[in-house]
Amino acid sequence: MAGLKDKQFLGHLAAFFTISIWGVTFISTKMLLVDFSPVEILFFRLVLALGVLVFVSPPLLVWRRPDRSFVLMELKLAAAGLCGVTLYFLFQNIALSYTLAANVSVLISSAPLFTALVSRIGLNERLKANFFLGFTAAIAGIILIAFNGSVVLKLNPLGDLLSILAALVWAFYSVLIKQIGTQQRSLLGVTRKVVFYGLLFVLLVLPLFNFHLGLYRLSELPNLLNLVFLGAGSSALSYLTWNYAVHLLGPVKTSVYIYMVPVVTIAVSVLALHEPVTLVAGVGMALILIGMALSEREQRLPG
């Protein structure tokens, strides 16, 4: 029992660490969109991420006969890279160029609901009312934070649809990672393979976009620092810790931490920019924490 509690604690710690980094990625991406296109940001961050992962955990070049289990595993890894890396970031980055960052953060925060539904089908996980009550409370809090009490919701059909699609493909990614993680593979190796396939799919679609390398843009320090943060921190290290959390806690319980992204963003704004916390934002954060508590309680119920 103690060992299980220790593993759950490590899983929660890994999930919280991941969200702490992801809480500022929207800001970095929005800043980079001034000089880079969405697909260019994705290309550079994945090249950096893969470079870090290969350096930390070099792949072993061992020939193995491609039997059925090996092919199925590679297909799952490729699907995880397509969903959780290529499509997720393409949808998110393109959405940020069409709609408000607040819209994107709110709509992508619906990922726990999609994850729960996909897990119900793919992993046969049971869901009860408390999870959906927690989801409703958390989304209400996220809306209050994102729009700070504004009654005007500025919709952009394309940008908002892409944000929802990003949340949906992330749900498939989380379930795939859980399935892959149960088959005794190195967590570093899994993360490296997923990022590799994600980059491979990006390279395949580059001709469809107006992509140019433009390395001169990296001479500007803000661009370089933001890309290093997105590549080494948000894509390499954070994917590793997120996959670790999913392995220990499961996709549904881990995905609940996505609700915390706006809270982290506010905390960073208070500490780094000395911005005040409004009453509306405070109520929003309280609703998010209540929603997380309800969702966590749901996952501990028997059945």
DSSP track, 15-51: HHHHHHHHTTHHHHHHHHTTTS-HHHHHHHHHHHHHH
Domain that holds residue 181: 10-58+66-300
Q: What pLDDT does residue 123 have?
A: 65
Angle at which helix 238-249 crosses helix 2-22, to 10 degrees, equals 150
Within the chain, residue ranges assigned H as helices are 2-22, 25-32, 38-56, 68-81, 88-98, 101-108, 111-122, 129-147, 157-181, 187-205, 221-228, 238-249, 251-255, 261-273, 279-300
Q: What pLDDT does residue 300 have?
A: 43
237 or 160: which leads in pLDDT? 237
Q: What pLDDT does residue 3 have?
A: 63
Gap between the Cα atoms of 34 and 254, Å rounded: 33
- Within 13 A of 181's CA, how many CA atoms are on the CB side? 23
Confirm whether 5 is domain-assigned.
Answer: no
Confirm whether 3 is domain-assigned.
Answer: no
301 or 35: which leads in pLDDT? 35
Q: Is the pLDDT of residue 302 over 50?
A: no
What integer best gives the mean pLDDT of the chain? 80
54 or 145: which leads in pLDDT? 54
Q: What pLDDT does residue 152 have?
A: 47
Q: What pLDDT does residue 158 have?
A: 79
Q: Is the pLDDT of residue 122 over 60?
A: yes
Confirm whether 148 is domain-assigned.
Answer: yes
Give me the percent of the chain exceeding a pLDDT of 90.
19
Confirm whether 107 is domain-assigned.
Answer: yes
Q: Is the pLDDT of residue 86 over 60?
A: yes
Confirm whether 49 is domain-assigned.
Answer: yes
Q: Is the pLDDT of residue 151 over 50?
A: no
Q: Which long-range contacts (CB under 8 A, 24 or more apart) does 185-191 make?
A: 185/73, 186/57, 187/240, 187/243, 187/244, 187/247, 188/53, 188/56, 188/57, 188/240, 189/57, 189/59, 190/77, 190/243, 191/53, 191/236, 191/239, 191/240, 191/243
Q: What pLDDT does residue 69 have?
A: 79
Q: How confident is the model at residue 146 (pLDDT cuts 50, 70, 90)?
A: low
In this prediction, residues 145-160 reach a mean pLDDT of 62
Q: How confident is the model at residue 297 (pLDDT cuts 50, 70, 90)?
A: low
Q: Which of 214, 262, 244 is nearest to 106 (CA)?
A: 262
Express each pLDDT in 232-272 by its tens digit: 988 889 988 988 888 888 887 888 888 787 777 677 666 76
Total structural domains within the chain: 1
Q: Is the pLDDT of residue 62 over 70?
A: no
Tokens read off for 166: 């990003």
Q: Is the pLDDT of residue 283 over 50?
A: yes
Q: Is the pLDDT of residue 299 over 50?
A: no
Express each pLDDT in 6-45 by its tens digit: 778 888 899 989 988 887 777 787 788 888 888 888 899 9
Confirm whether 109 is domain-assigned.
Answer: yes
Gap between the Cα atoms of 49 and 228, Å rounded: 9
245 or 147: which leads in pLDDT? 245
Q: What is the largest CA-CA distance in the chain?
A: 62
Confirm whether 4 is domain-assigned.
Answer: no
Q: What pLDDT does residue 46 have?
A: 93
Confirm whether 173 is domain-assigned.
Answer: yes
